[in-house]
Amino acid sequence: MRHLMSPLDFTTSELDALFDLACDIEKNPKKYAHVCDGKKLATCFYEPSTRTRLSFEAAMMNLGGNVLGFSEASSSSAAKGESVSDTIRVISCYADICAMRHPKEGAPMVAASKSGIPVINAGDGGHQHPTQTLTDLLTIRNLHGKLNNFTIGLCGDLKFGRTVHSLIRALLRYEGIHFVFISPDELKIPDYIIDELKEKNATYEEVIMLDDVIDKLDILYMTRVQRERFFNEEDYVRLKNFYILTKEKMDKAKETCIVMHPLPRVNEISVEVDDDPRASYFKQAQFGVYVRMALIMTLLELEVKDA
């Protein structure tokens, strides 16, 4: 039995198989509409994350399965002090697979070690959120056509952004990727990530202004710059506009550039960009459902024979 704790749990060839399956699901949704008939997904969310939970639930329903679960700790037995290990042993009697979100790092791994069913880490504190990374990789593969030889710009909060760190680590397994880190000094990419880049001989550059580099990007990955990350209001006000993607900035970007964002966005991408064909963040949310469908099938070891 396999679990998914980190995006690096799968080898790149296993990821290729997963993404091929996700693409086939996208093309032939009917073929997969009953592959999970009679199966149940438990969504155990110890902290609310409506978007992630609904994405998992939609994925299971698209496969013909059912869902059950809880969406915050106060409505679960954790509120009565039950351990994660006990909870998963019980959930194993009710469901066939579990997606777990927990504010404490490593909680899904504790669950996996005692579980009778596959466990998917649906986010554990600031640690891992592997299905987000798989979503990002599938989006790049589908819209850019390949997972190697491109220039990706990561813009915004690169210091605290778990999503960004996971994506960088996942991309370091592919060839010929040039990283452009775009952030204010206060929110620069941490040294330990830079060390990993150097270790893998990846090329990278660090810049302050999106305007200076947007024309050379094949992919632009936007993240939110939060007010509370700045020491003073003055710096925030001075810098925030550099990190807001506008139609004007998009005019300088390549025709083929794809713009991604893990969502939810606040104001870092102005709504006028949404109608630009290069804006890919809502497609990304759709790919998130396909990749979770493929993941559920893979972990349950289900296949659909071609008719």
Partner 1 sequence: MLNIGQIEEGFVLDHIKAGQSLDIYYKLGLDKINNTVAIIKNVRSNKMGKKDILKVECDIEMLDLDVLGFIDHNITVNVVKGGVIVEKKALSLPKEITNIIKCENPRCITSIEQELPHIFVLTDPENEVYRCKYCEEKAHKFLKKY
| Residues found near partner 1 in the complex (CB under 8 A) | 83-85, 102-107, 109-110, 124-127
Sheet holding 258-260, edge to edge: 203-207, 177-182, 150-155, 219-222, 258-260
Looking at beta carbons only, is 83 or 286 nearer to partner 1? 83
Closest CA to 294 of 21, 35, 66: 21
Handedness of CA 47, 48, 51, 55 (dihedral sign): positive
What's the CA gap between 274 and 267, in Å, rounded? 12
Yes or no: say if 77 and 34 are a contact pair by the CB < 8 Å rule: no
Looking at beta carbons only, is 92 or 128 nearer to partner 1? 128
Sorted by sequence, the CB contacts under 8 Å of residue 208 that are 6+ apart come out as: 182, 183, 184, 185, 242
Looking at beta carbons only, is 107 or 239 nearer to partner 1? 107
Phi first, then psi: give them for residue 298, nearest 5 degrees: -65, -45
Looking at beta carbons only, is 127 or 292 nearer to partner 1? 127
The CB-of-286 to partner 1 minimum distance in angstroms stands at 31
Phi first, then psi: give them for residue 299, nearest 5 degrees: -70, -30
The CB-of-114 to partner 1 minimum distance in angstroms stands at 11
Looking at beta carbons only, is 192 or 231 nearer to partner 1? 192
DSSP character string of 152-195: EEEES--SS-HHHHHHHHHHTTSSSEEEEEE--GGGPPPHHHHH
The CB-of-155 to partner 1 minimum distance in angstroms stands at 26
Looking at beta carbons only, is 84 or 180 nearer to partner 1? 84
The CB-of-161 to partner 1 minimum distance in angstroms stands at 16
Looking at beta carbons only, is 28 or 85 nearer to partner 1? 85
Sorted by sequence, the CB contacts under 8 Å of residue 254 that are 6+ apart come out as: 215, 216, 217, 218
The CB-of-197 to partner 1 minimum distance in angstroms stands at 17
The CB-of-102 to partner 1 minimum distance in angstroms stands at 7
Q: Which residues pair with 40 in a beta bridge?
A: 66
The CB-of-47 to partner 1 minimum distance in angstroms stands at 12
